[in-house]
Amino acid sequence: MNKLRYSSYFLLISVFTFIAIFFFVVQNSYNNLMKPINAVSQNPILKPINPKMDIGILDKINNRLFYTDPAQ
């Protein structure tokens, strides 16, 4: 009777170990799959450019003063 009890514990521990290893492998595979996608989505160089231009800055550029060299 005692031998049956040890074998049931061994079976229970082996099933839980298999499930833990299986989830560990699946999680690592998913992380390896998603890592490049997350790296691209967080890259600031690949953000879309805002096409709306601030017209006030163009007016400031046109209204700036130009200084000439009096020695010439």
Model confidence pLDDT, tens digit, residues 46-63: 778 777 877 888 888 888
* Residue 14 predicted with pLDDT over 80: yes
pTM metric for this prediction: 0.52
Cα–Cα distance for residue pair 9/38, rounded to 1 Å: 42
Q: Looking at this protein, which amino acid is placed at residue 71?
A: A
- For residues 27 and 20, the answer to whether their CB atoms sit within 8 Å is no
Question: In the 8-state DSSP scheme, what is residue 52?
Answer: -
**In the predicted structure, residue 27 carries a pLDDT above the cut 90:** yes
Q: Between these two residues, 59 and 12, which has the higher pLDDT value?
A: 12
d(CA 72, CA 30): 70
Q: Tell how many helices (H) and how many strands (E) occur in the chain.
A: 2, 0
